[in-house]
Chain A
Amino acid sequence: MNKKTLCLYFQVHQPVRLRKYHFFDLGKSHDYYDDFANRTITRKVAKRCYLPANQMMLELIQKYGKNFKVSFSISGLALEQFEKYAPEVIESFKALAKTGCVEFLAETYSHSLASLVDEKEFNLQVKQHADLIKKLFDYTPVTFRNTELVYSDKIGEMVARMGYKTMLTEGAKHVLGWKSPDFVYTNSLNPKLKLLLKNFRLSDDIAFRFSDKSWGEWPLTAEKYAGWLAESVKNEDLINLFMDYETLGEHQDVSTGIFAFMANLPQQVFATSAFEFLTPAEAAAKHQPVAPLNVPFAISWADEERDLTAWLGNELQLEAFEELYKVRDKVKAVNDPALNYDYCCLQASDHFYYMCTKLFSDGAVHKYFTPYDSPYEAFINYMNVLSDFVARVDEKYDNKEKKAVKSSVPVEAPVKKTVVPKASAEKNMKEGKKAVSRTRKK
Chain B
Amino acid sequence: MFGWEFPPHIAGGLGTACLGLTKGLAKQGVEVLFVMPKASGDEDQSSAKIINASDVEALYNLADIEEYWKNINFMEVGSNLIPYMDPEQFEREVSEQKKYGNRTERIGFKNKYTFSGKYGANLMEEVARYAMVAATIARQQRFDVIHAHDWLTYAAGIAAKKVTGKPLVIHVHATEFDRSGENVNSLVFNLERQGMLAADRVITVSNLTRNIVINRYGIDPAKVVTVHNAVDFQSYSEMNVERGVKEKVVTFLGRITYQKGPEYFIEAANKVLKAYPNVRFVMAGSGDLMNRSIRRVARLKIATRFHFTGFLRGQDVQKMFAHSDVYVMPSVSEPFGISPLEAMRSGVPTIISKQSGVAEVLKHAIKVDFWDVDALADSIYGLLKYPALSEMAGRCGLDEVNTLKWENAAFKLKKIYEEVKR
Interface residues in chain A, defined as those with a beta carbon under 8 Å from any beta carbon in chain B: 20, 22-24, 26, 314-316, 318-320, 357, 360, 373-374, 376-377, 379-381, 383-384, 387
Contact = CB atoms under 8 A, between A and B. Distances in A.
B275 A26 contact: yes
Given A319-B386, A379-B386, A380-B389, A23 B396 contact: no
Interface in B341-396: 363-364, 366-367, 374-375, 377-379, 381-382, 385-389, 391-393, 396
Listed from nearest, the 4 A-B pairs whose CB atoms lie closest are A380-B382, A319-B388, A23-B381, A376-B366
B382 A383 contact: yes
Given A315-B388, A374-B367, 4 more contacts: A316-B389, A376-B389, A379-B386, A383-B386
B388 A316 contact: yes
Contact of A384 (B272, B274, B378): B378
A20 B366 CA distance: 15
B271 interface: yes
Nearest to B374: A22
26 contacts: A23-B275, A23-B381, A23-B382, A24-B271, A24-B275, A314-B392, A315-B388, A315-B391, A316-B389, A319-B387, A319-B388, A357-B363, A373-B367, A374-B363, A374-B366, A374-B367, A376-B364, A376-B379, A377-B366, A379-B389, A380-B378, A381-B378, A383-B382, A383-B389, A384-B381, A387-B385
Contacts of A377: 366, 379
Contacts of B272: 23
A384 B379 CA distance: 11
Contacts of A380: 366, 378-379, 381-382, 386, 389
Nearest to A357: B396
Nearest to A383: B386
Given A315-B392, A376-B366, A384 B275 contact: no
Nearest to B380: A23
Contacts of B374: 22
A347 B271 CA distance: 30
A375 to B, nearest CB: 9
B385 A383 contact: yes
Contacts of B363: 357, 360, 374
A360 B399 CA distance: 14
A387 B379 CA distance: 15
Contact of A379 (B276, B367, B381, B382): B382
A23 B385 contact: yes
Contacts of A374: 363, 366-367
B33 to A, nearest CB: 40
Contacts of A22: 374, 377-378
A357 B391 CA distance: 14
A382 B391 CA distance: 17
Contacts of A373: 367
A216 B221 CA distance: 33
DSSP majority for the B interface? helix
Nearest to A386: B386
A18 to B, nearest CB: 13
Contacts, number: 67
Contact of B377 (A23, A315, A318): A23
Nearest to A360: B363
Contacts of B389: 316, 319, 376, 379-380, 383
A24 B274 contact: yes
**Residue in A373, A376, A381 with the greatest tally of chain B CB atoms within 10 Å:** A376
Contacts of B275: 23-24, 26
A316 B366 CA distance: 14
Contacts of A20: 375
Nearest to A363: B363
Contacts of B382: 23, 376, 379-380, 383-384
Contacts of A319: 386-389
Nearest to B383: A380
Contacts of A316: 388-389, 392
A381 B386 CA distance: 11
Contacts of B396: 357
Contacts of B375: 20
Contacts of B387: 319
A320 B396 CA distance: 18
Interface in B381-422: 381-382, 385-389, 391-393, 396
Contacts of B276: 23
**Residue in A23, A360, A373 with the greatest tally of chain B CB atoms within 10 Å:** A23
B212 to A, nearest CB: 22
Contact of A24 (B366, B377, B385, B388): B377
Nearest to A322: B388
B349 to A, nearest CB: 9
Contacts of A360: 363
B379 to A, nearest CB: 6
Contacts of A315: 388, 391-392
A23 to B, nearest CB: 4
A381 B366 CA distance: 13
A252 to B, nearest CB: 28
Contacts of B366: 374, 376-377, 380
A360 B361 CA distance: 12
A24 B273 CA distance: 10
Contact of A23 (B364, B378, B388): B378
B139 to A, nearest CB: 50
Interface in B160-217: none
A22 B389 CA distance: 16
A371 B344 CA distance: 26
A383 B381 CA distance: 11
A189 B271 CA distance: 55
Contacts of B364: 357, 376
B396 to A, nearest CB: 7
A357 B382 CA distance: 17
A314 B274 CA distance: 31
A320 B387 CA distance: 11
A374 B375 CA distance: 13
B300 to A, nearest CB: 15
A315 B367 CA distance: 19
A26 B378 CA distance: 11
Contacts of A314: 392
A359 B331 CA distance: 26
A82 B274 CA distance: 40
Interface string B266-287: 0000011011100000000000
Contacts of B385: 23, 383, 387
Nearest to A27: B275
**Residue in B271, B276, B363, B388 with the greatest tally of chain A CB atoms within 10 Å:** B388
Contacts of A384: 378, 381-382
A376 B382 CA distance: 9
A387 B275 CA distance: 13
A129 B367 CA distance: 38
A20 B375 CA distance: 9
Nearest to B379: A380
Contacts of B379: 376-377, 380
Contacts of B381: 23, 380, 384
A384 B276 CA distance: 13
